[in-house]
Structure 1
Amino acid sequence: MKTKFLAASALTATAALVLAGCGGGAPDSGSDSTARNSADAPVTLTVWAWEPTLTPVVSAFEEKYPNIKVDLQNVGGSADTYTKIDNVLAAGQGLPDIVQLEYHALAQYALSGELSDLTEMGAADLKEQYTPGTWNSVTIADSGKIFALPMDSGPMAMFYNKTIFDKAGIDSPPATWQEYYEAAKKIRALGDDYYILSDNGAAGTATSWMWLAGAKPFRIEGDQLVINLEDEGVITYAEFWQKLLDEDLVNTTIAGWSDDWFRGLSDGTIATLVTGAWMPANLIGSAPEASGDFRVALSPVPNAGEAVNAENGGSCLALLAKSDKQEAAYKFLEFMSVGEGAQIRVDNGNFPSTKAILEDEEFLSHTDEYFGGQEYNRVLAQAAADVIPGWSYLPFQPYANTIYGDRVAGALNGSITLKDALNAWQTDLETYAKQNGFMQ
């Protein structure tokens, strides 16, 4: 996806950017529209979002605010949504008021001045209601600007098939990477089709495991964007993953979210999934045959005794700066994120970003027979508390993610090492950054 930043200003803006959040412009102050400055006038908000739990939120919001109607449009998944946003921004017409963005994509639109700074609307007062990881993902630490409100969070956890673990003689979920490696060998010994996990070259998987290893490959030094895929944590990840690849302990042929992938999770030939805490509803809905087999554990960590974790996924709602319905739109964001809508979304399978719900005993004690009656939200809440602070995304992370798979394809088929693949990715990212004004 081609970014649309002006090279002359991008470097300066990037220097102020905490990449885990975003940067960018404020609302256009030239409009004197009544709808822009008041939520009391009848308005209709256009919202582009793919998250299904927003549907009941809209109904509850319209009941509470009868003057505000919400036209919720699913224009496709995240990639399709970003493409459509780019197209309407370029055309200057057909713009929605509110858009759903993954956390890693937020900086791209904030930096180009397309998003409203919610600080002016009182968003800063909400800080203590969120987990640190989600709040960091929507803010700029240096300036205090806030460019979205969290929808959910994705602290990593290990979803594992206990039935397959028992069959392989694995008595307890692996707590360290070394234990995970040993478990992988036992799973592989069950038969030709059995693997502990799959990896078809997903950037989100790679960056989450890097984060788990304490890596900080993307950062600002002075006024420069630095891309360093030889960071110590990146090397720790690469060496561990290389060992799994070398010993054929990873299924590299099945693409995530494909029918084959869910089939593997259903029959146990893919025995674990280390991913975001939003995964339970997906497993229950798309791998129903595994009901009763799965359990949830904390992510395995590089070193024994560490209480560390990373995020994988998660998204937010942002308000476009060119919308003439700012106040009404912010009311919807707040209702969705920390108002009644937050509980509605959790009740429909969303994983919360707010401390209040994560600490609520009813939430923590929830069970489901799919996970053998385990109170798995207690594990996921701990996973959220363990997230390592300080991770930064690139200000063009969606583009970086789209090229990752091609760069690591050779490592997955054994023709090159993963370190060489990551070096090639870095070269391409630096070239792109220089062409678009993010690096000199």
Structure 2
Amino acid sequence: MKVRRNKTVLTGSLLGAMAIVATGCGTSSGNSSSQSAPSTGAGAASLKTVDGLPLPQYTGKATLTWWAWVPNAQKEVDIFEKYYPNIKVHLVDAGAGTTEYQKFSTVIQAGSGVPDVVMLEFDVMPEYIATGALQDISPWVSQLKNRFTPWTWNQVSVGSRVYGIPEDTGPIGLFYQSSLFNKYHLKVPTTWNQFAQEALEFHKLDPSQYFSYFSNNDGQWMFGLLWQAGCIPFQGSGNNWKVDIDSPKAVQVFSLWQKLIKEGAVQSIAAGSPEWQKNINAGLYATAIGSAWYDSEILVPYDHNLATHKWRAAFIPEWTPGDTMDGDWGGSVQAVTKASKYPEAAAIFAAFVNAAPAELAHDVAPAKDGGGGLFPAATAGFDIPSFKQPNPALDNQPANVDIFEKESPRVNTKFQWSPWSSYVFNELQTEIGKAFAGKETVQQALANVQQAVVSYARSQGYNVTT
């Protein structure tokens, strides 16, 4: 996978920049487009088959700028240009995650320097859709909807309008050290109650280690836990939203983690910190809650004792036995900007690099071997031979096939991100930190987040119900 950013408390400058864009951009940004998208849906473009994909005929010439942090992204450009020699793509690494978003918000506000295609994560899509920064590309890509895992298309759509092409996803699973489980005769938990029981038992058997860790600096990861539990914190579109952050289920989720942290069975720690890196390498955690890309982005870079620890992947524990609902942590999109002079060409590029078989073969290949290291949103990627191979980082378990290909369609399709993710993450991290430090209850912490988010959203001009 790509290098992920931890959703630490964002700087005031970034939140301010996004707020300025939201209030100042309206429904357009940057240069005016010379190819405005028709308001009609699929069928507005004449299609041809390109590497198995039905894509628009495009005979003109275009030069696009693409902001992305995908490993080995130039290879994606090279493949695309073989099929579309009339469309040239200039790749720019504007930084990953927050670094890129700050630059993107700045150029949108400035009205110049806006890329044609920009890589965004699912959780910030509503923010940029609300600002009018992104182009509706449905006239050119609606026919591709069924080629993607259904919930991912929901993340890039508002009604019939489509604002980007899903690239990759992060269905959540349980990673565990089979060496420790064998040593202490532990069972891989299938429910969260079992997870808690195993955690307490493990800590009694070996007080020097933790059963797992809680990423206290990653609001996106925390929301992945809520997603998997069936929570629906946000519902709506446009200016009308319902906010339900402090639901009983959300209280239940964080209360479980609070109890395990208080008992010493789980460590609350900033993921990515030097201490955390040291602990991963030392095998201090018997388990970890991670995405399909966890092995390539966390274990391979930070655990240099994989042969000893023998990590494997399992299905995420269930809150209710038999309810196989999952959530997502991470995942990204290639979105076309409203400022692009060539939105049709940009839409073709975004679709091709994320769904064409020639691209998918590259995308799912390990980054260390020159590939993208992605868990693809396009379901055809599941059929690529390299996707199905045993994973040496997971004791040669073919985890993509055994676990994550099955978890992917279980991701709750009703979950939505709000237009205020950056603000929400900051508030959640702060308040949950207070609760875990014993300064307030979990219920009070979530109520505080609820109140703060509702007030913030209303201050930004949104109609909010609770």
TM bin, normalised by shorter chain, reads: 0.7 to 0.9
Query: TM-score when scaled to structure 1?
Result: 0.88
Specify which of 392, 396, 406 is matched with residue 373 of structure 1: 396
Determine the C-alpha separation between the residues in 2 that align with 1:236 and 1:214. 12
Specify which of 69, 90, 102 is matched with residue 83 of structure 1: 102
Equivalent residues in 2 for 1:140-219 (5 A)? 140=158, 143-170=159-186, 172-189=187-204, 190-219=206-235
Secondary structure at the residue paired with 2:285? coil
Superposed displacement of residue 90, structure 1: 1.0
Contact kept? 2:258, 2:436, Cα under 8 Å: no
Secondary structure at the residue paired with 2:364? helix
Range 304-313 or range 41-50, more displaced: 41-50
Partner of 1:342: 360
Determine the C-alpha separation between the residues in 1 that align with 2:93 and 2:384. 33
Contact kept? 2:220, 2:425, Cα under 8 Å: yes
Secondary structure at the residue paired with 2:157? coil
Secondary structure at the residue paired with 1:288? coil
Determine the C-alpha separation between the residues in 2 that align with 1:52 and 1:222. 34
Determine the C-alpha separation between the residues in 1 that align with 2:183 and 2:210. 12
Superposed displacement of residue 364, structure 1: 5.9
Residue 266 (structure 2) pairs with residue 232 (structure 1)? no
Superposed displacement of residue 280, structure 1: 2.1
Equivalent residues in 2 for 1:351-366 (5 A)? 351-358=375-382, 360=383, 362-363=385-386, 365-366=388-389
Specify which of 262, 265, 285 is matched with residue 270 of structure 1: 285
Secondary structure at the residue paired with 2:314? strand
Secondary structure at the residue paired with 1:155? strand
Partner of 1:31: 34
Identity %: 27
Residue 137 (structure 2) pairs with residue 137 (structure 1)? no
Secondary structure at the residue paired with 1:205? helix
Superposed displacement of residue 87, structure 1: 0.6
Superposed displacement of residue 9, structure 1: 11
Residue 109 (structure 2) pairs with residue 106 (structure 1)? no
Which deviations, in whole Å up to 9, do the C-alpha atoms of 1:172-196 show, x marking residues without a partner?
Answer: 3111001111121133231334342
Determine the C-alpha separation between the residues in 1 that align with 2:314 and 2:31. 47
Partner of 1:399: 423
Letter in 1 for 2:400: N
Partner of 2:82: 63
Letter in 2 for 1:191: P
Task: Point out where structure 2 has 5 or more consecutive residues left out of the alignment.
Answer: 1-14, 37-55, 366-370
Determine the C-alpha separation between the residues in 2 that align with 1:81 and 1:8. 20
Superposed displacement of residue 97, structure 1: 1.0
Determine the C-alpha separation between the residues in 2 that align with 1:381 and 1:368. 14
Equivalent residues in 2 for 1:45-56 (5 A)? 45-56=64-75
Which deviations, in whole Å up to 9, do the C-alpha atoms of 1:82-124 show, x marking residues without a partner?
Answer: 1101111111111111111100100111121111111122x11
Contact kept? 1:357, 1:363, Cα under 8 Å: no
Which deviations, in whole Å up to 9, do the C-alpha atoms of 1:64-91 show, x marking residues without a partner?
Answer: 3233322211111200111101111111
Superposed displacement of residue 318, structure 1: 0.3
Determine the C-alpha separation between the residues in 1 that align with 2:392 and 2:405. 19
Residues 160 and 412 from structure 1, CA distance in 2 versus in 1: closer, same or farther, beyond 3 angstroms? same
Partner of 2:20: 4
Residue 451 (structure 2) pairs with residue 427 (structure 1)? yes
Contact kept? 1:400, 1:429, Cα under 8 Å: yes
Secondary structure at the residue paired with 1:198? strand
Query: TM-score when scaled to structure 2?
Result: 0.83
Letter in 2 for 1:104: D
Specify which of 300, 312, 316 is matched with residue 317 of structure 2: 300
Contact kept? 2:212, 2:266, Cα under 8 Å: yes
Contact kept? 2:251, 2:442, Cα under 8 Å: no
Contact kept? 1:53, 1:345, Cα under 8 Å: no
Determine the C-alpha separation between the residues in 1 that align with 2:431 and 2:125. 24
Contact kept? 1:169, 1:186, Cα under 8 Å: no
Superposed displacement of residue 62, structure 1: 2.4
Residue 306 (structure 2) pairs with residue 290 (structure 1)? yes
Superposed displacement of residue 246, structure 1: 2.8
Letter in 2 for 1:326: P
Determine the C-alpha separation between the residues in 2 that align with 1:8 and 1:32. 23
Specify which of 309, 320, 323 is matched with residue 340 of structure 2: 323
Superposed displacement of residue 274, structure 1: 1.2
Contact kept? 2:33, 2:343, Cα under 8 Å: no
Partner of 2:93: 74
Secondary structure at the residue paired with 1:313? strand
